[in-house]
Amino acid sequence: MARVVAVGRFDGVHLGHQHLLREARRFGDGGPVIAYTFPPRGPSLLTLAAKVRLLQDLADEVVVAPWEEIEGLEPEEFVRRELVGRVGAEAVAVGPDHRFGKGRTGDLRTLERLARELGVAVHPIPALRRGGAPVSAARIRDLIGAGEVEAAGRLLGRPSWLAGQPVRGAGLARSLGYPTVNLELFPELVRPRAGVYAAWAHWPGGEGKALFYLGDRPTFPGLPPSVEVHLLTPPEGAVAGPVEVHLLAFLRPDRRFPSPAALAAQIGEDRARAEEVLAGQTPPGRLLGAGLPSQGRTP
């Protein structure tokens, strides 16, 4: 048995990451698997809390290394201090293009050389391919940015995901007959293409089918951009945060309507289409709990 450390950003914990962690477990021959990762940086597919939640289903331990503690480490120091000294690695599993250390100067050959000196095994895991190309977080981010959330979901192994806190809105949607929960999305998350989506929403104490809108509200040029969730079944009481939004299908792009009445009629059509898309679908699971993970070792 060996203590195997799988290293990566694990942004999205997508099918490729799941493959890497399964392979790491196979190489460990019954020993524990540790997912060694970092907080989100730049546009990301998950918050840190959601990423840790998913990794805990795949690994025996999750270690989150703050960037300020490791980004200045030379490759040798990173391997000696972090992977071996801090985490106790007896084997390391990484993807074929893994880079590490200050300025991303360490690569697979560097890792193999350093690990050999320390008596640590290295297991490079070939990238998982779907649709003729490797599954990667960058590929998924591009799909979401283009509104192709169904294709992104197939690479993630679950629906594309957003989350944010409820904020006060202008009350415009209620005046149109379709009340919404206005959201301030967590800033680290990738934004999807502007438009309307069929979605599933979770919040503390409730969940349900939804329409999700992100856009500039072009029918009302005097108002600022907005992010809103319209619940197809009115909730009992106020919707608290955080609100999770699982994007299941892109319905239409954002566009200007000739009148508020025309927009209200279109929202009615959007609702009907969302009901068709969501009918019979298994509700996706929550990714956020009551609290956030602490920085460092997570059991």
- Distance, in Å, from the CA atom of 83 to the CA atom of 81, rounded to the nearest integer, reads 6
* DSSP H helices in 62-220: 67-70, 75-77, 108-118, 137-145, 149-156, 172-175
CA 195 from centroid of its chain's CA atoms? 20
Task: Provide DSSP, 220-246.
Answer: STTSPPEEEEEESS--SS---SPEEEE
User: What pLDDT does residue 169 have?
Assistant: 78
Q: Which domains does the chain have, with CATH numbers?
A: 4-133 (3.40.50.620), 137-278 (2.40.30.30)
Per-residue tokens: 161: 């995901």
Beta bridge partners of 104: none
45 by DSSP, 3-state: which? Answer: coil
- Distance, in Å, from the CA atom of 210 to the CA atom of 199, rounded to the nearest integer, reads 5
Per-residue pLDDT of the chain (299 residues; tens, 9 = 90+): 889 999 999 999 999 999 999 999 998 888 999 999 999 998 999 999 999 999 999 999 999 999 999 999 999 999 999 999 999 999 999 998 899 999 999 999 999 999 999 999 999 999 999 999 999 999 999 999 999 999 999 999 999 999 999 998 777 777 777 889 999 999 999 999 999 999 999 999 899 999 999 999 999 998 999 999 999 999 988 898 899 999 999 999 999 999 999 999 999 999 999 999 999 889 999 999 743 333 333 43
- The kind and range of the H/E element at 61 are strand 61-64
- Please, are residues 160 and 153 in contact by the beta-carbon 8 Å criterion? yes
Beta bridge partners of 93: 6, 123
- Distance, in Å, from the CA atom of 215 to the CA atom of 245, rounded to the nearest integer, reads 16
